[in-house]
Amino acid sequence: MSQTIQAVRGMNDILPDEAEAWEQFEELIRDWLSAYGYRPIRMPIVEPTPLFKRAIGEVTDIVEKEMYSFEDALNGELLTLRPEGTASCVRAAIQHKMLFAGPQRLYYHGPMYRHERPQKGRYRQFHQVGVEALGFEGPDVDAEHILMCARLWDDLGLEDISLELNSLGSSEERARHREALIAYLERHQEALDEDGRRRLYTNPLRILDTKNPALQALVEAAPRLVDYLGEDSLRHFEGVQVVLKDAGIPFRINPRLVRGLDYYNRTVFEWVTTRLGAQGTICAGGRYDGLIEQLGGRPAPAAGFAMGVERILALWQESGGEPERVAPEVYVVHSGEAAGRLAFRAAEALRGHGFATVLHCGGGSFKSQMKKADASGAPFALVIGDDEAAAGEVTLKPMRGGEQRRVSLDELAPALAEQLFAVDGDDGGL
């Protein structure tokens, strides 16, 4: 016997019980984003490799070590499975001249790919919801993004989530800080680990985000970027904080928060939790005013954020959240050739009137079929046997108590609607 083929490591199947929770989450997400005026956009999973090298930065971990890149065997083009969505969204906005119509509020969701060590909440195929506000300049949009997240956590009933905030200033301010940071780190080069020495002259800001306990004292004493911010950057950062304070959103300014992508400037933020182990960031984002011009578009400000769906769903379950199983309203059981033909007509008639209906397939006794009807969670079974088929009628049977009744096919939909209303009324439904 040949060996069973397994899924690629770190790329997981999402089975029906779990997929139903994903669908409920996605429906909630769509309603949440629509309430803030954001519209959907869908980009390809595969993009030209230079897009990510130019946007994210060639000396970032993502580009250096984590991207799934390959050469198209037909034309030699260098392609990459998207590791994040912002670059793709900005590329699409530029290509289709979307900003000519004015600022855009956009969102997307779907799989991203990074070659990382799989662990809880972090997989090689992972899913993100991304939000991008293109063409908005002031701190109000930065603050709105953070308030949006706070509302979502409240809607999901999530607890133990905290907000960290920082400003990366302008490119000129970062350049002055970078010069001072390199000078400081050069004086302590012998204390740096291998990763720190590698990044010293290519991306020293990332050293401040190290997780190595041996470097924490060194990092704490390093020059702080906030001390190099000019008046405009400080005013912008204060504007964000004012809105958050007015809304009662607690936050901590973390001067070591730098994010792992080169395109960020000014506001950056992360929502973190201690309930998911080492992978505590569930949502992060900030402002990236230079990216549109960097990718070939007219200069325009922009801000956005992304959240990891796997991590948020895990946190939701940790907080006691359970997906609501959506049961059919009717399960159709039948026995006999004529009954089977009538069952198909009855099921299609019910679906035509908007009732969720499961038709039993595969044969079996009435007893075994009724067990499946009960397990489906449907409040009603539609029973069709030889007697019903001969009379052109069906038996509508309540599964949780009550009297069954026989009705004609023409009377079925109104009778079911009446019965369902009665059940809802007993439960206090409106």
Instruction: Give tens-digit pLDDT for 345-401.
Output: 999 999 999 999 999 998 889 899 999 999 998 999 999 998 888 888 899 999 887
Rounded CA-CA distance 14/68 in Å is 21
Mean pLDDT confidence for 93-106: 95
Looking at 174-178, 255-259, 374-378, which range is the least confident one? 255-259
**In 169-260, where does DSSP find H-type helix?**
171-187, 194-199, 216-220, 231-246
Give residue-wise pLDDT tens across range 372-384.
999 998 999 999 9
d(CA 359, CA 371): 14
Whether 183 has a pLDDT exceeding 60, the answer reads: yes
Q: DSSP character for 66? A: I
Task: Return the pLDDT at 260.
Answer: 59
The full set of domain ranges for the chain reads 16-169+229-318, 330-426
Which pLDDT value is given to residue 293? 92
d(CA 346, CA 373): 16
pLDDT bin (cut points 50, 70, 90) of residue 422 is low
Q: Which CATH class is domain 330-426?
A: alpha beta
pLDDT band at 429 (very low <50, low <70, confident <90, very high): very low
Closest listed residue to residue 284, CA positions, set 315, 259, 265, 253:
259
Whether the per-residue pLDDT at 201 is higher than 80: the answer is: no
The rounded percent of the chain whose pLDDT value lies above 90 is 44
Give yes or no for residue 202 having a pLDDT over 80.
no
pLDDT winner (highest mean) among 39-43, 75-79, 415-419: 39-43
Q: In this predicted structure, what is the pLDDT of residue 277?
A: 65
> Measured between alpha carbons, how far is residue 411 from residues 105, 404, 418 in Å?
48, 14, 11
Beta-strand relationship, 104-113 and 39-40: parallel
Q: Are the beta carbons of 381 and 394 closer than 8 angstroms?
A: no
Rounded average pLDDT over 56-72 = 81
Looking at 207-221, 229-243, 373-387, which range is the least confident one? 207-221
> What whole-number percentage of the chain has pLDDT above 70?
94
* Domain covering 16-169+229-318 in this structure, CATH number: 3.30.930.10
Order the strands of the 302-308 sheet from edge to edge: 39-40, 104-113, 125-134, 302-308, 281-287, 265-273, 161-167, 252-253
CA angle centred on 170, ends 168 and 174, rounded to 5°: 65
> Which residues does 155 contact at the CB level (< 8 Å), separation at least 6?
28, 32
